[in-house]
Structure 1
Amino acid sequence: MKKLSLAVAVTGVLGLGVMAGAHAANNGKLIFNGTLTNISCAVAPGTGVSPGNPGEINVDMGNVSFSDIGLSGASRFETATPIQMLVNCSAGADQYSTVKMRFAARNGSGLDNNDAKLLRTTGAADGVGIGLLNASNKLMDLSGTETIDTDLVLNGTGGATAEINFGAVYVLNGTTTNPGNADGFMPFVLDYE
């Protein structure tokens, strides 16, 4: 937000210099909408992941040979790393039944340039992206709006728990391969319905 404010301030100063001899005004309106809830939930790592810095979950993809992975249509997901996220809601969950995990690949390391279903990797490795497998072991399209939906288990006192299970796997993107580190990052959001 600070970058936006600075950019607006700089644009405003430049605009004053250009409009020194003219008087002009533009009018507009900002409309904000939102909802506040009483739900209070925390997310913790489960099987296959470990805690990192606050708000970060580390997934160790391991050392994988290019010969053990395939293209997105090849369904070669034997090397997938299982991931489990544990959701614990302490209050306000009694009006919700589902938690939906959505991903923002574009706000992370980005979508792969050669296969937009995949997360772009950073590091020296070439020819590969990172794919996510939903609970049905199907490759998700990270360029779309797919979510991983899990039932909330209510505890009768306004709290609830859920286990979100999915996987991460390296997938060939159809370009020349080159070994090395193949890292990536991607924000996620949990929506309660």
Structure 2
Amino acid sequence: MSKLLKSIVSMAIAGAVSTSAVAADGTINFTGEIIAASCAITGGAGTSVGGNKGGQTIDIGLGKVSSDSLTGTAAGGIVGGKSINLNLDCGGTAAGLKSVKLQFDPNSGSGVDSKNVSLLKVTGGAEGVGIGLYNSSNKLVNLGANETIDGALVSTTEGQNTTYTANLNLRAGYVANGAPIKAGSANGTLPFTLTYE
């Protein structure tokens, strides 16, 4: 074996045996709990709901709106507002819980708008616009900051059976994101999870 080859082999062995001294900069501790609560969205005004518990699809038509209405001062950069009133039927599974939250996951859908991370990114060719979600207080939900829509769980007792329901009310509309407006299809997909407290 040549001296050069012996030198390379011994350096490789030394590198494999040595350990790097990297100190951790911090720790992330995850906490949580899996519960039996399971609410089905049964619909409500402004919604078309399909699928079963755990795989529900809600179709919201925002219509065809003029690009002029987004840039005009009358609309303030928001048009096509549609109320979404979700009625949740939790059966008897929510005992001991007080509220339910609609937690959005835009990154598993069409994503957040690059010009305004509060908005859902649209797909299909339109530019300069995103889809905004507003809570029942008419405040824009910041999708990029994982804000939620919350609703109180209400119990109803008949005889020995107690059932739980909740209503989640929100509104969706097209919102100008500050970039030049370009006409085209403006669709969006926004996966969600129901969480309970």
TM exceeds 0.5?
A: yes
Supply the AA of the counterpart residue of 1:40.
S
- Distance in 1, Cα, partners of 2:129 & 2:30: 40
Tell me the matched-pair count. 168
- Judge conservation of contact 2:41–2:49 (CA < 8 Å) in 1: no
Residues 123 and 190 of structure 1: is their aligned pair in 2 closer, same or farther, counting only changes over 3 Å? Answer: same
Question: Is it true that 1:186 corresponds to 2:184 in the alignment?
Answer: no
Q: Deviations over 1:140-162 (max 9, x none)?
A: 11100211111111113332111
Return the alpha-carbon distance in structure 1 between the equivalents of residues 156 and 134 of structure 2.
29
Contact 1:37 1:92 in 2 (8 A): no
1:115 deviation in Å?
1.2
For residues 130 and 49 of structure 2, the distance between their equivalents in structure 1, rounded to whole angstroms, comes to: 23
Structure 2: stretches of 5+ with no match in the other structure: 1-15, 18-28
2:81 corresponds to:
80
Which structure 1 segments of 5+ residues have no match?
1-21, 24-30
Q: Tell me if structure 1 keeps the 8 A contact 2:134–2:140.
A: yes
1:124 Cα shift? 1.6
Q: Cα offset for 1:35?
A: 2.8
> Could you tell me which residue of structure 1 aligns to residue 117 of structure 2?
116
Alignment of 1:177 with 2:181, yes or no, is yes
1:160 aligns with 2:160: no
Closer/same/farther in 2, CA of residues 120 and 143 from structure 1, 3 Å limit:
same
TM value normalised by structure 2: 0.74
Aligned to 2:137: 136
1:101–1:32 Cα change, 3 Å: closer
**SS class of match (1:125):** coil
Which has the larger Rg? Answer: 2
Report the CA distance shift for 1:70/1:82 in structure 2 as closer, same or farther (over 3 A): farther
